[in-house]
Amino acid sequence: MNEQNPPDASPKKATLPSVPLVEWKSLYELASRVRQDEPWRTLTETDLFALEDPVTKQVGLVSVLGCFGEVYAVELYLPPEGLLYWLQFFFKGEPDPTLNDFELRMLEATFVSKKELEQPDLVVLDQLDLGRPKKRLKGYAQFRSYRPGCVAWYLDAEEVRLMRLALGASMEFAARRIRRQEPWLLVDSTVSGLPVLSVYSPVAEPPGWSVRRERIQVEENSFVPPPITEILDEVTRRRLPELSVKHGAWQTGACYLPVPAISEGRLVYPVAALVGDESDAELLEASLTADLKIRSPSAIVRAVATAAIKRDGFPQIIKVARSEERNALESLREFCPGLEVMLDKKLDSLDFLISELDAAMARADLTDPRVALKVLEALPVKRGSEKISNQVFKTTTYRLKITLRHSDPSIWRRLEVRGDILLGDLHQLFQIGMGWYDEHLHEFRVGSNGYGDPAASGSANDENATTLGQIAPRKGSRFVYTYDFGDSWDHDVLVENVERGTVPVAPCCFAGQNACPPEDSGGVFGYTRLLESLADPSHPNHEESKQWVSEDFDPTYFNAEEVNAEFARLAED
């Protein structure tokens, strides 16, 4: 295994940014005003506006959370990754999971209870002596910074300045919306970029804001690999031109490991870069880095170069799943002009290796800071002649959490299924697990791709020719299951775990919460109104609602044993 800047064994070395107390006081006082003004009563999280930094002239996007009463927050998405997040949201339906979980650039002010504050937050509040907040419910402000590859951390002085601008602009935006000076956001599905947004820029004389309307430009591929001299050492660079191109294909990729390490004083997620032989999923190289200067595409370049030296030659083709990885690997043509780098969304051998890594991490002691290194060293290299594309998902157990979007209280189920299950069969399990009656059309969506019954729903991809493992190859994968295009019951599906076994698993539901809404109840918001009328005898629709639902309907009822009995009957059929 190639170990580059391994995880630090002492996470206590993480340091807190230094911010003058006067800057903290200004920020906390402004946050208190935001909590009292409650801009989320006017705005939803997709009511975006842009904020121009008067110093750097960079433009970020501001989102206000809280309209559903669960989380109160103001978020400032910074370029380039923060803007790319919203570009993917508007254009593809949901952001890439890796971008969402590990590579986002964002500042956040969240309002929480005092018991949710961490020690550094309490220290600052004690020094400021601001007293108890006027709003008792989630009245304490908590500030966090998100950077690519990093665990959420505390703000530095520059980020405090930007967060202060975002809080002030959010109140101004909400006030202008109330005065009808701000138009509603219009999304043009024919345009691949962001919608036209209001851009707020602070002006000093008089104190206030200038506002203009503009379509913010975002580059989909914002990653620019550093020079090859910063990625590879001199010894490696001298050795690579001596290597020939051999037959065969490699698959390579990288993933973040959930064991925080230390880099530049911050807690970071180490990057594991894997290189595998396509024919038999032989692990050729596994490297680990916790260096923030080396992003995952560059870590892949290092791993491929090391594998080539060990094998005394490059393969004919290297396959990757992301354009950023392809662009980074093309720098190796400086040493091997005949090298071909190809984009391929179906990397079965790589997915198999990553699923093995995920399973090993799930069994590991995550309190040990060296666990990531130990797990990589313990990964087997040879796997014989196993046909990965046919076998990998047959004995792979997927743990899925299916949540009905916008349901409050949350309606969800947790299932275990085989990785090679066809989406058409998964649809049947979702119907039984949630409690639907399969009376309407449905579709699975992954980004902009839809999967269903082409004859019935017009989906471009056949659900009976596509497996779960193909659309959700690893832990952390997400997709959407929509049932009833009229009521639009959208279910968010998260792959919580992927584990390889020795025998196929039978479908099983082992957890869940709350009853499924009645069919044709008007979507989540119609169902909410139905519950309100059922709960209030004085409601004008109370009697009508009682007659419409069954007498024994209980919105809090769920029984996993009943679901599993239905699963067993389905298997018999």
Domain end, chosen from 160, 184, 215, is at 215
For residue 547, is it within any domain?
A: yes
Q: How far apart are CA 183 and CA 243, in angstroms?
A: 61
- Give, for all 573 residues of the chain, the pLDDT tens digit: 555 555 544 445 788 999 999 999 999 999 999 999 999 999 999 899 999 999 999 999 999 999 878 889 999 999 999 999 999 888 777 788 788 889 999 999 999 999 999 999 999 999 999 888 888 789 999 999 999 999 999 999 999 999 999 999 999 999 999 999 999 887 766 667 889 999 999 997 666 899 999 999 887 766 778 899 999 999 999 999 999 998 889 999 999 988 888 888 889 999 999 999 988 778 999 999 988 888 899 999 999 999 999 999 999 999 999 888 999 999 999 999 989 999 987 787 887 788 778 777 777 777 676 788 888 888 877 664 444 444 455 567 899 999 999 898 899 999 999 988 999 999 999 999 999 999 999 999 987 788 998 877 666 689 998 889 888 877 888 899 999 998 999 999 999 988 766 556 789 998 999 999 999 898 998 998 899 888 888 888 888 888 788 777 899 999 999 999 999 999 887
**The pLDDT value given to residue 189:** 62
For residue 6, is it within any domain?
A: no
Spatial strand order in the sheet of 478-483? 461-462, 449-452, 442-446, 478-483, 489-500, 396-404, 412-418, 508-513
**The pLDDT value given to residue 4:** 57
Please check whether residues 317 and 337 belong to one and the same domain. yes
Residue pLDDT, tens place only, 67-116: 878 889 999 999 999 999 999 888 777 788 788 889 999 999 999 999 99
Please check whether residues 539 and 415 belong to one and the same domain. yes
Domain end, chosen from 191, 215, 239, is at 215
Closest Cα partner for 4 from 254, 197, 320? 254
Q: How far apart are CA 367 and CA 58, in angstroms?
A: 39
For residue 529, is it within any domain?
A: yes
**The pLDDT value given to residue 11:** 45
User: Looking at residue 364, which CATH number applies to its domain?
Assistant: 3.30.420.10
Please check whether residues 441 and 475 belong to one and the same domain. yes
Tokens of residue 523, six digits: 């979507």
Please check whether residues 351 and 276 belong to one and the same domain. yes
**The pLDDT value given to residue 551:** 72
For residue 355, is it within any domain?
A: yes
Please state whether beta strands 49-52 and 196-203 pair in parallel, antiparallel, or not at all (unpaired): parallel
Residue burial 491-520, b: 16+ Cβ < 10 Å; e: rest: bbbbbebbbbeeeebebbbeebebbbbbee
Please check whether residues 316 and 423 belong to one and the same domain. no
Please check whether residues 380 and 479 belong to one and the same domain. no
Domain end, chosen from 197, 215, 233, is at 215
Q: What angle do CA 383, 387, 388 make, to 5 degrees?
A: 75
For residue 3, is it within any domain?
A: no
Q: To which H or E segment does residue 333 belong?
A: none
For residue 475, is it within any domain?
A: yes
Residue pLDDT, tens place only, 248-285: 899 999 999 888 888 888 899 999 999 999 887 789 99
For residue 376, is it within any domain?
A: yes
Q: How far apart are CA 108 and CA 31, in angstroms?
A: 11
Give the pTM: 0.69
Q: To which H or E segment does residue 516 belong?
A: none
Please check whether residues 210 and 227 belong to one and the same domain. no
Please check whether residues 325 and 436 belong to one and the same domain. no
Q: Which residue has the tokens 């801009």?
A: 39
Please check whether residues 499 and 544 belong to one and the same domain. yes
| Long-range contact set of residues 427-434: C-beta below 8 Å, sequence gap at least 24 | 427/463, 427/481, 428/570, 429/507, 429/567, 429/570, 430/402, 430/481, 430/483, 430/491, 431/483, 432/563, 432/566, 432/567, 432/570, 433/402, 433/509, 433/512, 433/563, 434/402, 434/404, 434/483, 434/491, 434/516
Closest Cα partner for 153 from 122, 108, 97, 96? 108
User: Looking at residue 419, which CATH number applies to its domain?
Assistant: 3.10.290.30
Domain that holds residue 199: 11-215
Domain count, the chain: 3
Q: What angle do CA 570, 571, 572 make, to 5 degrees?
A: 90
Please check whether residues 204 and 305 belong to one and the same domain. no
Please check whether residues 427 and 540 belong to one and the same domain. yes
**The pLDDT value given to residue 394:** 58
Q: How far apart are CA 397 and CA 504, in angstroms?
A: 8
Q: Is 274 helix (H, G, I), strand (E, B) or coil?
A: strand
Alpha carbons within 13 angstroms on the beta-carbon side of residue 157 total 6
Q: To which H or E segment does residue 297 belong?
A: helix 296-311
Please check whether residues 260 and 127 belong to one and the same domain. no
For residue 43, is it within any domain?
A: yes
